[in-house]
């Protein structure tokens, strides 16, 4: 009897937090076509689940994600071959799905994040890195460009000059250097990584989810519009929030000096 291969992406939900785990440690979680599809499906599932208020993305083993699976890519029908590029829907791949998600995302970078893995980590809203983790912008060392969002994300995150330095040199940053460059929110001991990520996810999940998600939408929209237009769009987002049970609960809890109990309604 043939065995069913294990899923390359694990999905679990607890306490309003979805944890999505890249699960191919034997190849350092390099992205195969199957993993690409499974990761997209998991992200969409979390974004559509009303019970989920925050998402943690991490990996098993000693790497978060060492980039694309070059062994598969070199094979017939691999993810980087000309034949596959005509069928790959870039609008439904992890970088674009991450960018469009309303749910807050935290990347718990458990190890090396190189190439596609680095771009995927940067695509999350928040990054917490284990002390042993690294960000490797090795694209130009492989003869390619940051193909999964890096050229859009990095100049906005750290400015043109720093982004140019990192991309053009193909440098690898340690966790401490990533913190200095402003590419991670925190660095913690390896054994404490998931506890730190869950603690932040729980802090986010305790807030009014509709307000959190609206705030993220406004931040995303604000990247590409002027201030007067942005203020107008924020006002339009605020109007429906005034009618929610969560806003009423938040006001009552403030007046009653207690912790609010938000329902996402």
pLDDT tens digits, one per residue of 12-35:
999 999 999 999 999 999 999 999
Residue in the block written with tokens 């969409």 = 44
Please state, in angstroms and rounded to a whole number, the distance separating the CA atoms of residues 158 and 210.
29
Triad 58, 110, 217: Cα angle to 5°: 45
More confident residue, 168 or 142: 168
**Per-residue pLDDT tens digits for 62-121:** 999 999 886 765 554 445 544 444 445 556 788 889 999 999 999 999 999 999 999 999
In this structure, is the dihedral angle defined by the CA atoms of residues 25, 31, 63 and 97, taken in order, positive or negative? Answer: negative
The per-residue pLDDT for 77 is 44
Given this model, what pLDDT does residue 5 score? 56
- pLDDT number for residue 89: 56
Question: To which H or E segment does residue 10 belong?
Answer: strand 9-14
Residue 2 has pLDDT above 50, yes or no: no
* pLDDT (tens digit per residue) in 224-244: 899 999 999 998 988 999 999
Share of the chain above pLDDT 70, in %: 90
pTM here is 0.90
User: How much is the mean pLDDT over the chain?
Assistant: 90
Please state the domain extents for the chain.
Answer: 9-205, 209-256
- Split at pLDDT 50, 70, 90, the class of 187 is very high
* The two structure tokens encoding residue 189: 């001991």
- CATH number of the domain located at residue range(s) 9-205 in this protein: 3.90.226.10
Decide yes or no: CATH 1.10.10 for domain 209-256: no
pLDDT digits (tens, 9 = 90+) for 33-47: 999 999 999 999 999
């Amino acid at each position: 009897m043939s065995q069913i291969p294990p899923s390359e992406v694990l999905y679990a939900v607890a306490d309003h937090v979805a944890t999505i785990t890249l699960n191919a440690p034997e190849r350092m979680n390099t992205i195969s076509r199957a993993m690409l599809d499974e990761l997209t499906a998991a992200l969409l599932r979390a974004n559509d689940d009303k019970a989920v208020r925050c998402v943690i993305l991490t990996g098993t083993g000693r790497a978060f994600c060492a980039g694309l699976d070059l062994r598969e890519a070199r094979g017939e029908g691999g993810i980087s071959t000309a034949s596959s590029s005509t069928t790959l829907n870039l609008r439904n791949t992890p970088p674009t799905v991450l960018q469009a998600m309303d749910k807050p995302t935290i990347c718990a970078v458990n190890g090396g994040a190189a190439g596609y893995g680095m771009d995927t980590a940067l695509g999350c809203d928040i990054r917490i890195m284990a002390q042993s983790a690294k960000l490797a912008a090795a694209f130009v060392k492989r003869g390619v460009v940051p193909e999964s969002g890096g050229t859009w994300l990095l100049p906005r995150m750290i400015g043109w000059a720093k982004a140019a330095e990192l991309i053009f040199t193909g440098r690898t940053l340690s966790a401490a250097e990533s913190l200095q460059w402003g590419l991670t929110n925190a660095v913690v001991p390896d054994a404490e990584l998931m506890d730190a990520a869950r603690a932040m996810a729980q802090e986010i999940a305790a807030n009014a989810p509709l307000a959190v998600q609206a705030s993220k939408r406004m931040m995303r929209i604000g990247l590409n519009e002027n201030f007067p237009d942005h203020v107008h769009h924020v006002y339009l987002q605020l109007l429906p929030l005034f009618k929610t049970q969560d806003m009423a609960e938040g006001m009552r809890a403030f007046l009653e000096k207690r912790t609010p109990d938000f329902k996402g309604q």
